[in-house]
Chain A
Amino acid sequence: EAQVTQNPRYLITVTGKKLTVTCSQNMNHEYMSWYRQDPGLGLRQIYYSMNVEVTDKGDVPEGYKVSRKEKRNFPLILESPSPNQTSLYFCASSPVEGKGQPQHFGDGTRLSIL
């Protein structure tokens, strides 16, 4: 089954404790992206990747890192999480974003930073 898998689905942690949210897709998509969703602010793009070893900042990259060492994986790293990073996070992928292909979304990760 074609899917985008995020882990964990839920996480409660404390300020400053490094964490990684994994994202994996099995559709051989070139484009992958991370978004956060906050009440009143909607969805905002954090980082995206056009292909292996090619990443770029979205609208709200501060406090986050990403890597794209393999085509299928695009982890989101919070080196020193802070409470303002409490949010609902989505990973998405598509064949080639430049062609305007629809994106496939993961189920989301609800992150709480205390």
Chain B
Amino acid sequence: KNEVEQSPQNLTAQEGEFITINCSYSVGISALHWLQQHPGGGIVSLFMLSSGKKKHGRLIATINIQEKHSSLHITASHPRDSAVYICAVRFSGSARQLTFGSGTQLTVLP
């Protein structure tokens, strides 16, 4: 069965801390997305990765294809980073469907 697992489910951090959220998947993929869902419910696409590493501001996403693992890092975290972070993958050979992880609820305290 094609699965996507995220960890941790919940994460509380103090402002300024370095944060890592992990995503593991069961079989080969052709693309991996990191999404951010705000408390109001809206979803924003942060990154799309098929290999290597991407950086945008304080956010860094990495993927290790051999280990079937991706990480989302947030440097110098801020209370406005509080949101649910969701990993989504397109498994190889699965047409155009996306499979989502269960999400990581991040709370950054001032």
Contacts and interface: CB of A to CB of B under 8 A. Distances in A.
Contact of B97 (A59, A88, A90): A59
B30 A105 contact: no
Nearest to A40: B102
Most buried by B among A92, A102, A110: A102
Interface stretch (A12-20, A42-50, A65-73, A77-85): A42-50
A70 B98 CA distance: 23
A76 B45 CA distance: 22
Does more than half of chain B's interface fall in helix, strand or loop, or is it mixed? Answer: strand
B86 A105 contact: no
Does more than half of chain A's interface fall in helix, strand or loop, or is it mixed? Answer: strand
A88 B42 CA distance: 11
Contacts, number: 52
B8 to A, nearest CB: 15
Given A100-B30, A100-B31, A100-B50, A44 B43 contact: no
Interface in B24-60: 30-31, 33, 35, 41-45, 47-48, 50
Interface in A59-114: 59, 88, 90, 92, 97-98, 100-105, 107-108, 110
A92 B96 CA distance: 13
Interface of B: 30-31, 33, 35, 41-45, 47-48, 50, 86, 88, 90, 95-103
Interface of A: 31, 33, 42-45, 48, 50, 56, 58-59, 88, 90, 92, 97-98, 100-105, 107-108, 110
Given A44-B100, A56-B96, 10 more contacts: A42-B86, A59-B99, A88-B41, A92-B43, A97-B90, A100-B30, A103-B33, A104-B45, A107-B42, A108-B41
